[in-house]
Amino acid sequence: MHISEGVLPGWLLVAGWGLSAAGLTVGLKKMEQRKLPLVALLSSVFFVASLIHVPVGITSVHLILNGLVGILLGWAAFPATFIALLFQALFFQFGGITVLGVNTFNVAAGALVAYYLTRPLLRNPIRRKLIVAGVVSAFAAIFTSALLLSLELLACGSSFKSTAALAFLAHLPVVVAEAVINSLVLLFLYKNVPELLGVK
C-alpha cells in the first residue's frame, strides 16, 4: 500500500499532505487522553503487520488492519497511521517522506469508512453483528485504500494503468485474511474488554 518516492506528481503530493494534515488535526482534537495507550498499541500493530509486504510494481501488498484501527479509534486513525508510516519511511525506506501525506490519507481514509459503516453494528452487539462488523470493516477499509491507491497511480499516466489494476486486484486476498482477523479480534474484545467497543 506504500507508494514509492518520485512517482506521483507534485500537485498530488501537496493534496495528500493537505488532506492528511486536516485529518491529523481532527484526529488529535477528537482523541481522548485515556485512549493514548490504545492509539500507541494499534499504531505499533499496524507498523509490524505492514512490514511483511509483497512488492507489486511501484507499490506493495501487505496486511493493513486499517479496518480494525478504524473501528477502535475513529478519527484517531490518522495520527496512529501517520506515526507508523513515518517510522517505516525513516527506518526501512517504505514509501518515503514526500509521499507520506498520500500514504497516510490512503490508509486512514479507509479506516474512517470502516468506522462509520460499522458503528450501527456495534450498538447492542451480538456475536453475529460482530462477525459482520469484522467482514464489513475489512472490505470497506481495504477497498477504499486500494481504490485511492489505484486512482493515484492512474493520475500518473497510462504507463501505470496495469500497475494500478494489479495493485487493486492484489489486495483482494488481503480482504479475506483481515475479515477473519477483525472478526476474531472483535469477538475477543467484546468478551474481555467490551469498553473498547463502546459497550459497558
| Block mean pLDDT (10 aa), the chain, length 200 | 76 94 96 91 88 62 88 95 92 85 95 95 89 95 89 77 74 88 95 80
* pLDDT score for 156: 78
* pLDDT score for 174: 84
* pLDDT score for 1: 61
* pLDDT score for 172: 82
Tell me how far apart the alpha carbons of residues 66 and 106 are, in angstroms, rounded to a whole number.
10
Residue 162, C-alpha cell as written in the block: 496495469
Q: Where are the beta strands (DSSP E) in 19-134?
A: 53-56, 59-62
* pLDDT score for 83: 95
The Cα-based distances of 56 to 14, 60, 75, 165 in angstroms read 24, 5, 29, 11
CATH 3.30.70.520 is held by the domain 10-197? no
**pTM of the entire predicted model:** 0.87
In the chain, domain spans: 10-197
Residues 6+ apart with CB under 8 A from 172: none
